[in-house]
Amino acid sequence: MLQYIASSRSLINGIICHITQNTVRMSLRSVLRAQTADCHAEVDKLFGRFDLSNREHYRTFLRTHARIVPAAEYAIEHAGTRRLLPDWPDRRRAPLLFADIRALGDQMPALLPPPALGCEAALWGALYVLEGSKLGGALLAKSVPDHLPRSYLAPQGPKGAIRAFMERLDASDVGDPAIAVSAARNVFELFLKAAQLELEAVP
């Protein structure tokens, strides 16, 4: 009888373990969201200091992005992102950023070093930050006066592009999500560093 009970308990524990493992298995998007929430909040807080209705603040905001986005997009492209996102050329925003900065009579600032993207997991992590920033950008664009250029922040690309990206991210099967998380956090850190550099120059 005791042997039967022990065997039953072992079977039940095995079932519970199997259910738990499948329950806690999260999509890469969920892992990235959970593991970068702190640095994402820190970026939002720092960038909240920019008053986008003010021309100089808006110019500085764009310069902040210009320190990162072109180099990050270059790194992403040369890491082979077209394997993951065939429509990558339509997703690039550096040319729009260049155009807005020129329209404000400014020049491109010095770029920060691009993120190191040595594998597919790291590529997904960096893409998660850049593609996700478009959602926030669409909201921020509403704060920019109509007489100022805002092609960088305004929604662009094919309809449903963000949803398509998130679906591909969810369907990805990277071996080590921690690498994706590390890459995403590195990109967030670049945004923080760029904002700190530019805000130091704001009177």
The token pair that represents 11 in the structure block: 């079977």
Non-local CB neighbours of 88 within 8 Å, separated by 6+ positions: 76, 77, 81, 82
Query: Could you give phi then psi for residue 86, rounded to 5 degrees?
Result: -60, -25
> If you average pLDDT over residues 170-189, what whole number do you get?
93
pLDDT in tens, 140-170: 999 999 999 999 998 666 678 889 999 999 9
The pTM of the full predicted model, rounded to 2 decimals, is 0.85
User: Cα-flanking dihedrals φ and ψ of residue 109, to 5°?
Assistant: -80, 175
- Report whether 117 contacts 76 (CB < 8 A): yes
Other beta carbons within 10 Å of 192: 18
For helices 177-200 and 55-66, the axis angle rounded to 10 degrees is 140
Domain architecture of the chain: domains with CATH:
27-200 (1.20.910.10)
